[in-house]
């Protein structure tokens, strides 16, 4: 299996622009997580989907962030408008059994907002 695939790997944008990050989970996994990693705060859960349904989005910072999972093989995380404080590495992870099972992470999308 190719593992969890994220795109783009790097994104540099200007404040106020829309950013869309993409994730393809491992085939057959029914759970998908979006995390954000910064030096100051470490890894933070943004949102968790189970069977394509958002279960917990309490970690989404504010209304500028939105996430969708239109089918079992694709998810997006959108930031509109972006701000410099959104600069971070965004990880997507998938698993067979929510957080009770082993999580498989993608290689991340490094976002820089100027």
CB 16 within 8 A of CB 82: yes
Strands 10-13 and 109-113: parallel
Please state, in angstroms and as integers, the Cα–Cα distance from residue 113 to each residue in 22, 58, 87, following that order. Answer: 17, 23, 6
**Of 22, 45, 78, 112, which lies in the binding site for another protein, with binding defined by CB under 8 A?**
45
How many residues lie near another protein (CB under 8 A)? 23
Does residue 4 touch another protein according to CB under 8 A?
yes
Choose the binding region for another protein from 18-26, 49-57, 60-68, 78-86 (rule: CB under 8 A).
49-57
User: In a 10 Å sphere around its CB, with 0-12 CB exposed, 13-18 middle and 19+ buried, how is residue 65 labelled?
Assistant: buried
**Of 12, 55, 83, 84, which lies in the binding site for another protein, with binding defined by CB under 8 A?**
55
Choose the binding region for another protein from 18-26, 63-71, 80-88, 92-100 (rule: CB under 8 A).
92-100
With H, G, I as helix, E, B as strand and everything else as coil, classify residue 43.
strand
Q: Which spans of this chain sit near another protein (rule: CB under 8 A)? A: 4, 42-43, 45, 48, 50, 55-56, 59, 91, 93, 98-108, 110
């Amino acid at each position: 299996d190719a593992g969890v695939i994220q795109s783009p790997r790097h994104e540099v944008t200007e404040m106020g622009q829309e950013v869309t990050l993409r994730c393809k989970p491992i085939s057959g996994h029914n759970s998908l997580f979006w995390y954000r990693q910064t030096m100051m705060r470490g890894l933070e859960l943004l949102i968790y989907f189970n069977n394509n349904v958002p279960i917990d989005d309490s970690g989404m910072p504010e209304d500028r962030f939105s996430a969708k999972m239109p089918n079992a093989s694709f998810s997006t995380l959108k930031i509109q408008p972006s701000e410099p404080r959104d600069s971070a590495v965004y990880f997507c992870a998938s698993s067979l059994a929510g957080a009770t099972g082993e999580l498989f992470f993608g290689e991340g999308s490094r976002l820089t907002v100027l």
